[in-house]
Amino acid sequence: MRTLLSRVPGGPETLEVAELPDPAAGAGQVVVAVGACAINYPDVLVIEDKYQFKPARPFAPGGEIAGVIEDVGEGVTGWQAGDRVIAVIGQGGLAEKVAVPAAALHRLPEGRSFAEGAALILTYGTTIHALLDRGRLKAGHRLLVLGAAGGVGLAAIELGKAFGAEVVAAVSSEEKAQAARDAGADETIVYPRAPFDRDQSKALAERFKAAGGRDGFDVIYDPVGGDYAEPALRAIGWEGRYLVVGFPAGIPRLPLNLTLLKSCDVCGVFWGAFAARDPAANAAHVDRLFALWAEGRIGPRVTRTFPLERGGEAIAAMAARQAIGKLVVEMMG
């Protein structure tokens, strides 16, 4: 089978297409012929050895896939060859075939493409956990979404609206603002590109405060970090929740006096650890996501697809923060 391997730490240009033996299904596993693999920001970090998990090399990046079961290992029940499935696997997805624990599988609904299926669970799973478990989002709340045109950002808009919140989407271009409006955002803010000096940071804080209104935002969803974090935190309301989702713009330093003055919470969101520690709660969230998907209230926006040999380009686009919606590498249609 063909795969896209990371043999040495580095950027997407270090990845190389290689031929490897087909995987075998061990006990409790199935082999999936991969139809599509979605690209996420952890793929940028893991090949540079900057992610919290460092797989042994060589490895293929790619943490969420959709495809067709080709073989079933000993002890696996409820699945058979030919079933269309989705799985979040950590890494290994940028390959034509991969061995997957049966416990990680979800059934890909009829009528949904591999690209859509691969783009669903990690993005929306992170976001539903963030908004409901960590953010305690309720109908009528005001929600600020930073980086709102990326995969998790669009998911936050859609889920925020599905849960009855008023959503303000912050983005870096008018094209991205239109994508946020198309996803249902009530209001958009186009902010400049960081880094910011003190005056620019203050000006952005004032724009966020104006959008937040007199009482400020109940929940702020931040998958961006960097110089955007402090201006956003200054717009939080009394006892609001600031959700820390990711840092493509850099790890921010927050003045903790703001948390005292607003009596607010800064909440980390680590969906992978949550899913491992409380699989039943995560499964309930995934069931809810599938129901919302069936109702048409959410849906992955796959805006670009790439063949396997150009998977590095997809990761490079993610690293450059150029992506609107989801980027997906397709192995078969």
Distances (CA, A) of 169 to 142, 206, 230: 11, 15, 16
Q: How far apart are CA 26 and CA 74, in angstroms?
A: 7
CB 93 within 8 A of CB 62: yes
Mean pLDDT for all residues in the chain: 95
CB 35 within 8 A of CB 67: yes
pLDDT of residue 332: 74
Q: Which residues of 92-128 are buried (b: 16+ CB within 10 A; e: fewer)?
A: bbbbbbbbbebebbbebeeebbbbbbbbbbbbbbbbb
Predicted TM-score (pTM) of the model is 0.93
DSSP-derived letter for residue 21 is P
Going by C-alpha positions, the residue among 314, 327, 308, 291 that lies closest to residue 122 is 327
Rounded mean pLDDT, 8-20: 95
138-162 pLDDT, tens per residue? 999 999 999 999 999 999 999 999 9
Same fold across 2-120+300-330 and 123-272: yes
The architecture that CATH gives domain 123-272 is: Alpha-Beta Complex (3.90)
21-72 pLDDT, tens per residue? 999 999 999 999 999 999 999 999 999 998 888 899 999 999 999 999 999 9
Sequence-distant (≥ 6) Cβ neighbours of residue 310 within 8 angstroms:
329
Q: Which amino acid is at 268?
A: G
Sequence-distant (≥ 6) Cβ neighbours of residue 167 within 8 angstroms:
143, 145, 156, 157, 160, 161, 184, 185, 186, 187
Here the tokens at position 245 are 């989702």
pLDDT of residue 159: 98
Q: How far apart are CA 146 and CA 154, in angstroms?
A: 10
- The string of DSSP codes covering 68-129 is EEEEE-TT--S--TT-EEEEE-SS--SBSEEEEEGGGEEEPPTT--HHHHHTTHHHHHHHHI
Q: How far apart are CA 9 and CA 4, in angstroms?
A: 14
pLDDT of residue 51: 84
Here the tokens at position 37 are 């693999």
- Looking up tokens 């607010």, which residue turns up? 264
Would you tell me how many other CB atoms lie within 10 Å of the CB of residue 200?
15
209-247 pLDDT, tens per residue? 999 999 999 999 999 999 999 999 999 999 999 999 999
The architecture that CATH gives domain 2-120+300-330 is: Alpha-Beta Complex (3.90)
69-111 pLDDT, tens per residue? 999 999 999 999 999 999 999 899 999 999 999 999 999 999 9
Going by C-alpha positions, the residue among 78, 31, 123, 72 that lies closest to residue 318 is 123
Distances (CA, A) of 133 to 128, 241, 285: 8, 11, 10
Length of the chain: 333
**Largest pairwise CA distance in the chain:** 63
pLDDT of residue 53: 81
Q: How far apart are CA 291 and CA 133, in angstroms?
A: 19
Q: Provide the residue ranges of all domains of the chain, joining segments of one domain with +.
A: 2-120+300-330, 123-272
Secondary structure class of 208 (helix, strand, coil): helix
Sequence-distant (≥ 6) Cβ neighbours of residue 290 within 8 angstroms:
106, 109
- Looking up tokens 């080709």, which residue turns up? 70
Here the tokens at position 274 are 């949550």
